[in-house]
Structure 1
Amino acid sequence: MNAFMNFWEHIASWQRMAILLGGMIFFWLVEGHYPLFTFSWKRYKHAGVNLVFLTTTVILNILLGSITILACRWVTDNHFGLLNLFNLPVWANIIIGLLFMDFFAQYAPHYLMHKVKFMWKFHMIHHSDTKVDVTTGTRHHPGEWIFRECFTIIGVYVMGLSIGMYFLYRSVSAIFTHFNHANIRVPLWLDKPISWIFVSPNMHKVHHHYKRPFTDTNYANIFSFWDRLFGTFAYTDPKQLKYGLDVLDGKTDESLGYQLKLPFNKNIKTDY
């Protein structure tokens, strides 16, 4: 296990990018053969719009992600945070680290983005996609990345996350993001048991339903534990779902200019 963590402690940037893109390409190919929904759409055009948002996220991560890395170094050097208080086995640190970072970096900011109006206006871009597939997981306004990374840094300090644990969490979270958003057909007999512990594709699709209350459910990314604990878990047959948002014109979901300006558009009505 020490060798495993040593890999993540020294993982190269190209390796992290390979994991990000490799996972996306893998599920892109799978959903081409086993689609949940057969959309009438230009798949490459749809992906192109969403990948623009991925590009902005990568650029921000390069420019500002160093702040998070500095936080990881500080907590490690000063033995600060919960994981540094106890001499637990490496495997236990990994499980605890992933579980609680799923809360700090995903569940908590995601929940708030559905409850705080100005945060929701940025998060609407993610929900405005009417054809959810693996590329939808990368569809986040640059402003949303800042919200999420601020909460990630809080998690780093509270948990005492090392650089290796941070990179491991990021990679696992990316794979689950691809898995959960992919337009893949997963039978209920398989998907439901997965959702007892992890966030499954069918479970997350509920979150992308076009109107409440389903929109306000299933905020976690890796573990379904947090949604079950806080009463935000929901599950239904994904064939009964409709993607997008009821306050937006679905025809604008591939208009890049419209989407980037959406958080500042005062004509968009919202209940939050």
Structure 2
Amino acid sequence: MNEIIAYFSTIPSSHRSLILVGGITIFWLIESTFPLFRMQYRKWHHAGINIFFTITTIIVNFILAFILIKTAAWTTENNFGILQWLPKIPIWLYTLIGLLLLDLIGAYLAHFIEHKIKFLWRFHLIHHTDTWIDTTTANRHHPGESIIRFLFTTAGVLIVGSPMWMVFLYQSLSVIASQFNHANISLPPKLDNILSYFIVSPNMHKVHHHYVLPYTDSNYGNIFSVWDRLFGTFTTLPKEELIYGVDTHMAADEHNKLKNLLKIPFQKSRSEKNKQNH
């Protein structure tokens, strides 16, 4: 455990980039060999759109990184936050609690609120417009949503009182988990089901990308599945019934053109139609 802490305390930016690129590459190869669905789409064109959003997310996080670093430093220096108030416990338990809480605030809560507040949903909608869910979809976030997610992560760091090494560890796990649960891979049903009791499995998250409510408003987790099960937002749907996308933007010229995707948050909202009809 001490080796992990030491590594993430000084992890180079190049290693963090390698985790991102390496994850996409590995899951890309796996889903090409063992696909959940054999989708008829221009995979490289689709990846190009999603990689554009991956790059914008990296840029946003790079520009705002100093806020996260300052926040983590302040919490540890001033003994502020849940982890700082805990009695002395084994380091593995300290780490697990921290990761669980960061996942709750930075991922589950952020995701849940994005679905419930119209203004935030306008930005998150871009992620849901994808009708071909694969590992590149994990990073399909409008630059505006990247800022929103960053603010939630920063709030999580402040509330949890996590040191910077834990933040880097959490972000690395979050990237890999998201690439894994979005990947178009076919796991044995029993294995996927067992995994879903501990982490967000591919089949579990795919339900969240079904095109209509109430499935769209379920399975918000990213790393740990406990929050969906605890807060009653966990649901299942046979893969044979899955239809990806969101019912308000099913036309290809809306969800498969970069220029339009960037404009969606500023177009007339159609989310009410989604909620009224389903």
**Does the Cα contact within 8 Å between 2:218 and 2:234 map onto a contact in 1?**
yes
Query: Which position in structure 1 is the counterpart of 2:255?
Result: 253
Query: Which position in structure 1 is the counterpart of 2:178?
Result: 177
Please list the CA deviations of residues 180-209 of structure 1 after superposition, one character each: whole Å capped at 9, or x if unmatched.
000001121110011011110000000000
**Does the Cα contact within 8 Å between 2:61 and 2:150 map onto a contact in 1?**
no
Q: Aligned letter for 1:265?
A: Q
CA distance in 1, matches of 2:251, 2:131: 6
Please list the CA deviations of residues 164-186 of structure 1 after superposition, one character each: whole Å capped at 9, or x if unmatched.
00000000011100100000011
| Partner SS, residue 178 of structure 1 | helix
Query: Which position in structure 2 is the counterpart of 1:36?
Result: 36
Q: Aligned letter for 2:243?
A: K
* 1:14 correspondence with 2:14: yes
CA distance in 2, matches of 1:120, 1:209: 16
CA distance in 2, matches of 1:49, 1:241: 23
Q: Aligned letter for 1:100?
A: L
Instruction: Give the ranges of 4+ consecutive aligned residues of structure 1 lying more than 3 Å apart after TM superposition.
Output: none
Query: Which position in structure 2 is the counterpart of 1:116?
Result: 117
CA distance in 2, matches of 1:3, 1:241: 42
Task: In structure 1, list runs of 5 or more residues that go unmatched.
Answer: none
User: Could you state the TM-score of these two structures normalised by the residue count of structure 1?
Assistant: 0.97
Query: Which position in structure 2 is the counterpart of 1:48?
Result: 48
* 1:264 correspondence with 2:269: no
Q: Aligned letter for 2:12?
A: A
- Give the deviation of 1:47 after TM superposition: 0.2
CA distance in 1, matches of 2:41, 2:173: 30
Task: In structure 2, list runs of 5 or more residues that go unmatched.
Answer: none
- Give the deviation of 1:249 after TM superposition: 3.1
| Partner SS, residue 38 of structure 2 | coil
- 1:192-203 map, 5 Å: 192-203=193-204
CA distance in 2, matches of 1:47, 1:206: 21
**Does the Cα contact within 8 Å between 1:130 and 1:250 map onto a contact in 2?**
no
CA distance in 1, matches of 2:83, 2:43: 44
CA distance in 2, matches of 1:255, 1:151: 28
**Does the Cα contact within 8 Å between 1:134 and 1:178 map onto a contact in 2?**
yes
**Does the Cα contact within 8 Å between 1:107 and 1:226 map onto a contact in 2?**
yes
- Give the deviation of 1:39 after TM superposition: 1.0
| Partner SS, residue 116 of structure 2 | coil
Considering only aligned residues, what root-mean-square deviation do their CA atoms show, in Å?
A: 1.0
CA distance in 2, matches of 1:171, 1:239: 32
Query: Which position in structure 2 is the counterpart of 1:23?
Result: 23
**Does the Cα contact within 8 Å between 2:72 and 2:164 map onto a contact in 1?**
yes
Identity fraction in percent: 47
CA distance in 2, matches of 1:219, 1:237: 18
| Partner SS, residue 114 of structure 1 | helix
